[in-house]
Amino acid sequence: MKSRFTLRLIVVVAAALLAAACGSGDSPETASPALPPTESPSDASLTATEEPTGAGAAEDGEMSGIDGTTVTLISHDSFALSDETLEAFTEQTGVTVELLEVGDAGTLVAEAILTKDNPLGDVMFGIDNTFLQRGLDAGIFVPYESPALADVPADLQLDPEHRVTPVDYGDVCVNYWKDAVPREPTSLTDLTDADFYDQMVVQNPETSSPGLAFLLATIATFGDGWEQFWMDLRENGLVVTPGWEDAYYGEFIAGGGERSMVVSYASSPPAEVIYADPPTDVAPTGVITDSCYRQIEFAGILAGTDNEAGAQALIDFMLSETWQNDVPLNMFMYPVISSATLPPEFVEHTAVPAAPLMLDPAEIEANRDAWTERWVEIVLR
């Protein structure tokens, strides 16, 4: 199988390069004159991004010939937006979006790589920074630098070659049940304190993306000391679950469990308020902001698409206010553009960490298996 994958990789990379080369050469009149000057340092090396053929297409679908075409968007099963949002895109550009959803984020990336010589769609949304390098290495994306990136903070744009575009982000943080903790926890080291004996629930990083994010948070915090942290955490009474649902609803107090601390999201307290029963004005949970690991979700155009201009228009639209303002209450993630507005619950009931933890995607890819294996040895054996 390895050899077949290598072959596919070569074919796809070659095809991508060819497409990139042709893209810059043909029909310059379709290139939008409204394209802002590019700022990314790596742009000079990538001809395709200098004159993206469909840039600005969101405004003039008819001119670029994408009116009446269809773009297939493939995403994970947490994807959710208002009906009006995708309809607005079709109204603006004449492009119809066909949505396909598959499994969780990990399954999505695995399948995109497995099917890369005959991709399932034109655009993929939902690859995050913990799996990003895997997708980039497999060569499943073609670069596109959206003009709308001008409104996106630079620290969210992890790929200088713009093979992927940041669309939303969230923070994986330790949540605690306010009424059940002996004192308010404020840092990761609190978790190993005797005050919090038998209180913590984590997800297995091998089967859960918040679980993996939390492992990375400890590595980003403690460096080489992460192993000792986990030994101490285990000593302090730790429960490991395979996924988020069984952690949050099985072991954590929220679902009738007995533990007061769990790995979840910074947006979980707002969700607890919005979907409270009976209604409440006070979130029952809080987050340890020092424990937050930033998860950025990206979209990318899949190599092999036959509607690259339509795909580019969709990427542009993902960074529009229409899409971005729709993100928080549907997916419980944060918008990436600075002009987006947050719902009041997201402002009142949670805190956005000033300096969230993050690791370089390439470093994650190089070490992920070794880290998780070591984690299994420390925590489970």
Partner 1 sequence: MSPSRRRRGAATVAWAVAAAAPLGFLSIFFAYPVLTVVGDGLSGLGELLASAPIRGVLWFTLWQAVASTALTLAVGLPGAAMLARLGPKARRVVRALITVPFVLPTVVVAGAFEAVFDRFGLDSGAVSLHHTVWAILLAHVFFNYAVVVRTVGSWWAGLDGRNADAAAILGATPARAFVHVTWPLLRPAVAAAAAVTFLFSFTSFGVILILGGPTRATVETEIYRYAVTRLDFDTAAALALCQLVAVATMVALAGIAERRRAVARRSAGRTVSRRSRVVIGVNAIVAIALLGVPIATLAERALSTGDGYGWANFAALAQRVPMLPTTAVAALWHSLGFAALATGIAAAVGVLASMVVVGGSARSSAKGARGWGAAWLRRLLDVGLTLPLGVSAVTVGLGMLLALDRPPLEFRTVWWIIPVAHALVGMPFVVRTLVPTLRSIDHRLREVAAVLGAAPLRSRREVDVPIASRAVAVGAAFAFAVSLGEFGATAFLPRRPDTLTAPLALFRLLGTPGESLRGQAMALAVVLMAATALSVLVIEGLRRTDESLF
Chain residues binding partner 1 by CB under 8 A are: 1-2, 4-5, 74, 77-78, 80, 82, 98-103, 106-107, 110-111, 113-115, 118, 120-121, 134, 204, 206-207, 240-246, 248-250, 254-258, 264, 268, 271-272, 274-279, 285, 329-330, 332, 369, 379-381
Q: Identify whether the C-beta of residue 258 lies closer than 8 Å to the C-beta of residue 181.
A: no
Closer by beta carbon to partner 1, 105 or else 149: 105
CA distance 212 to 214: 5
Q: To the nearest whole angstrom, how small is the minimum distance from the Cβ of residue 91 to partner 1?
A: 19
Q: To the nearest whole angstrom, how small is the minimum distance from the Cβ of residue 246 to partner 1?
A: 5
Closer by beta carbon to partner 1, 153 or else 255: 255
Residue 74, judged by CB atoms within 10 A of its CB (0-12, 13-18, 19+), counts as: buried
Q: To the nearest whole angstrom, how small is the minimum distance from the Cβ of residue 199 to partner 1?
A: 14
Closer by beta carbon to partner 1, 151 or else 365: 365
Name residues whose C-beta falls within 8 Å of residue 7's C-beta, 6 or more positions apart in sequence.
none
Pairing state between β 200-203 and 238-241: parallel
Q: To the nearest whole angstrom, how small is the minimum distance from the Cβ of residue 144 to partner 1?
A: 22
Q: To the nearest whole angstrom, how small is the minimum distance from the Cβ of residue 59 to partner 1?
A: 27
Q: Identify whether the C-beta of residue 203 lies closer than 8 Å to the C-beta of residue 240.
A: yes
CA distance 353 to 333: 14
Residue 50 sits at φ, ψ, to 5 deg, of -70, -35
Closer by beta carbon to partner 1, 145 or else 168: 168
Element (H, E) at 170: strand 164-177
Closer by beta carbon to partner 1, 48 or else 240: 240
CA distance 318 to 335: 10
Q: To the nearest whole angstrom, how small is the minimum distance from the Cβ of residue 249 to partner 1?
A: 6
Closer by beta carbon to partner 1, 68 or else 103: 103
